[in-house]
Amino acid sequence: MRHRKAGLKLNRTSSHRNAMFRNMVTSLFKYERIRTTDTKAKGLRLWADHLITLAKRGDLHARRQALSIIREKDVVHKLFSEVSERFGAMLGGYTRIVKLGRRPGDAALVSMIEFVTSEKSKKKKTKAPKSPAVKKKQVAVEKAKPEKKEEKLIEKIAEEKSAGPEEDIDKKADEMEAAPESPESEGPPSEKDKAEDDMENTEPEK
């Protein structure tokens, strides 16, 4: 009986088979999709799912276990840093096998194995295009903003002037009372004024 003997032999020794799958799983995590035969893709899926489970655990022992399988440290770092974003909400089914047909030469079935991304990572917030009416309102609001700022500045200046000390106000009032009343027109007398003065001077004596 073949209890606890899961996996494909692929007409290879165990050392050869493990080395081949280590190389393949390293390439899969590095390039995120590879092309191989259908049988090898089905065996590779088990290795990839196991490594993603280790990366989800995320502790030091899991990282060391992943380093014993994957041959490049950069690939392990990429796996452990991106696993929560890509596969955090998924409980399995991390890979997809797409059959591509038969290989010319030996007519072997060829498939492409790639990672499946979660729906949350696919969804991105896209801003809806703004209607022309909304754009006009925004332009009007932006134009009105500087006017409001100028009005606020004028009000602040008026408040500062009105909030001066009472002594200055009293001094200004005293100066206004002491100052002589100035005539309405400070310029030279006009011709009409001269004519009126002459008429008053030449009034007939009674």
Read off the pLDDT of residues 111-155 as tens digits, 9 standing for 90 and up. 999 999 765 555 555 555 666 667 677 777 666 555 566 677 778
How confident is the model at residue 81, as a pLDDT? 93
Q: In angstroms, what CA-CA distances link 36 with 42, 46, 98, 109, 128?
A: 10, 15, 11, 9, 42
pLDDT band at 16; cut points 50, 70, 90: very high
Please write the tens of the pLDDT for every residue from 157-186. Answer: 777 766 555 555 556 556 666 655 555 545
3-state helix, strand, coil in the chain (%, to 5): 60, 10, 30
Q: What pTM did the predictor assign?
A: 0.56
How confident is the model at residue 56, as a pLDDT? 94
Distance (Å, rounded) from C-alpha 197 to C-alpha 28?
A: 113
How confident is the model at residue 162, as a pLDDT? 66
How confident is the model at residue 171, as a pLDDT? 60
Average per-residue pLDDT for the chain: 80
How confident is the model at residue 185, as a pLDDT? 47
Evaluate if residue 105 carries a pLDDT over 60: yes
Residues 6+ positions from 105 with CB-CB distance below 8 Å: none
Evaluate if residue 64 carries a pLDDT over 80: yes
How confident is the model at residue 206, as a pLDDT? 46
